Structure 1
Amino acid sequence: MAERYRNTGDLLPGLVLPAGWADQFRKLLARIENADTPVNCLLAQERAEGVVEGLELAKARDAATLERLYLLIGGAASVRLQQLERGARDNN
């Protein structure tokens, strides 16, 4: 499987994060992308969203940036869940 979030480019065009944050989000997104079961995918999604909630509570980023992070996480989880569902159907 391709690991889209392991590269060093921008997570999203125009999304500016402090040093180290982008690397952490890449790791969280890679966990979603590499989940081997739907449950593990949802757990990885919850963990990533929890990090964003922490940023929100700390008022560390503006609402638009936080929303983009939530959408990025949700999109990655949706894609992975669809892949896992297709794989389960193909194996039956």
Structure 2
Amino acid sequence: MWKLGVDVTMLGVEAQTVIGLRLAKIALGGPAAMSEAHLMVSEKVLAAGEAALQIATGKSPGHVVSGYRRKVRANTKRLRKG
């Protein structure tokens, strides 16, 4: 249970980084901002569906949180590149 609490806390911290990077990109405007906004929405819908499927098939909450963290870290890396 301790690990899940730490992972959820880290997810929150890591997500704040992505939020800040996305806001900066969107604030610049232009086609890149529009693409990022669309990507953000589609990612959230897809991630929610994946999480629901994982829980429905017996995966643990820790497994779901780990998947979210992987995606958030990938977004951080992508957004820091450009």
After TM superposition, the score normalised by the length of structure 1 is: 0.39
- Structure with larger RCO (C-alpha < 8 A, sep 6+): 2
After TM superposition, the score normalised by the length of structure 2 is: 0.42
Which of the two has greater helix per residue? 2
